[in-house]
Amino acid sequence: MMIREFLIRNKQTVMYGVSLAILLFLLKWLELRFILFSHSMEIYIGSIALLFTGLGIWLALKLMSPKVEVKIVEQLIEKPVTKQNNDEFELNEALLLDLGLSKRELEVLELMASGLSNQEIAGKLFVSLNTVKTHTSNVFEKLDVKRRTQAIEKARRLSLIA
């Protein structure tokens, strides 16, 4: 309602503005046509230059990117195995006290090193499976390892087990 009243009151001004907009559009269209016809060769050359510039950048990026080739090499590494006799083995008691390993945890560690499972260790020590798991996790935490093999290797290296 308000827009209609506004248009009726200002009919002459609105018509003048619309006619100027149409005239401006017509002049811009004619100017564009003139530019396209009189400078068509320059526009064509500029378009081709832009196309080849983009193609050159793409090609340079493709050619300059490093080619990464991954090779997996498997090689057997032999470590000299030095097996100590029980007579020659000396327990590192200072480190044992420093780490805070109990005698039972040391027993569990020795049985793990001999290759027994948690169930077999529980049967051999006459304790529950949960007790063995608790001792095992305590050993892992005190030795700062995550797996049985790491615990055994570290314990042997620190002279905690034979």
Q: What is the pLDDT of residue 87?
A: 57
Residue range(s) defining the domain that contains residue 108: 93-157
Q: What is the pLDDT of residue 78?
A: 66
Contact 112, 136 (CB under 8 A): yes
Boundary residue ending a domain (46, 64, 82): 64
In a domain, 152, yes or no: yes
In a domain, 117, yes or no: yes
Q: What is the pLDDT of residue 83?
A: 52
In a domain, 69, yes or no: no
Q: Are residues 153 and 97 in the same domain?
A: yes
CATH label of the domain that carries residue 98: 1.10.10.10
Q: Are residues 152 and 104 in the same domain?
A: yes
Q: Are residues 59 and 101 in the same domain?
A: no
Residue 157: helix, strand or coil by DSSP? helix
Average pLDDT along the chain, 162 residues, taken 10 residues at a time: 84 90 90 79 88 92 80 71 60 83 91 92 92 93 91 88 84
Query: What's the domain count of the chain?
Result: 2
Q: Are residues 60 and 105 in the same domain?
A: no
Q: Cα(124)–Cα(106) distance, rounded to whole angstroms? A: 14
Q: Are residues 55 and 106 in the same domain?
A: no
